[in-house]
Amino acid sequence: MPLPKTKFAVLDTSVYIENFRTGRFALRILQSRWIPRCSSVVLHELLRGARTNLEHRFVRDLQRRCQVLTPTENQWLHAAEVLALIRKGEHCDPRKIRELLPDVLIALTARSLGATLITCNESDFRVIRRQVAFHIEYWR
């Protein structure tokens, strides 16, 4: 059964980074049909990687201007189950499982809203989608 159409979108960290570096997605984001929502996990990743004052201000502005979604206790627990399935089914090493945790949390948070997750990170999210259904769009 197909998932229903969505009206919200959650942009993954990879989209923000690519757009910040190159501006490649600026017009696409502005012309988007979706209502944007932001994951607190994405904000964390962006702020953790911010090196300049401009990058730091960008993340704080994004936090102020966008409704922020934070993973719930149940989403954290579900993420553990999804990662266990990935570890077994994909034979991933512990390092890769740790790397996938933020992406699983972002996907589960977007899913809870019925939002489309937009990412440039196709390989990791394809692995996650083999274990849990959610709306996704890959930007290249």
Instruction: State how many domains the chain has.
Output: 1
Residue 4's pLDDT band, with cuts at 50, 70 and 90, is: low
Residues 6+ apart with CB under 8 A from 120: 12, 14, 15, 18, 138, 139, 140
pLDDT at 1 over 60: no
User: In the predicted model, what is the mean pLDDT of residues 47-56?
Assistant: 96
Q: What percent of the chain has pLDDT over 90?
A: 93
Q: What is the span of the domain harbouring residue 66?
A: 8-138
pLDDT tens string 68-83: 999 999 999 999 999 9
Confirm whether 3 is domain-assigned.
Answer: no
Residues 6+ apart with CB under 8 A from 116: 6, 8, 9, 10, 34, 110, 135, 136, 137
31: domain CATH number?
Answer: 3.40.50.1010
How far apart, in whole angstroms, are the C-alpha atoms of residue 56 and residue 5?
Answer: 34
Write down the pTM of the prediction: 0.93
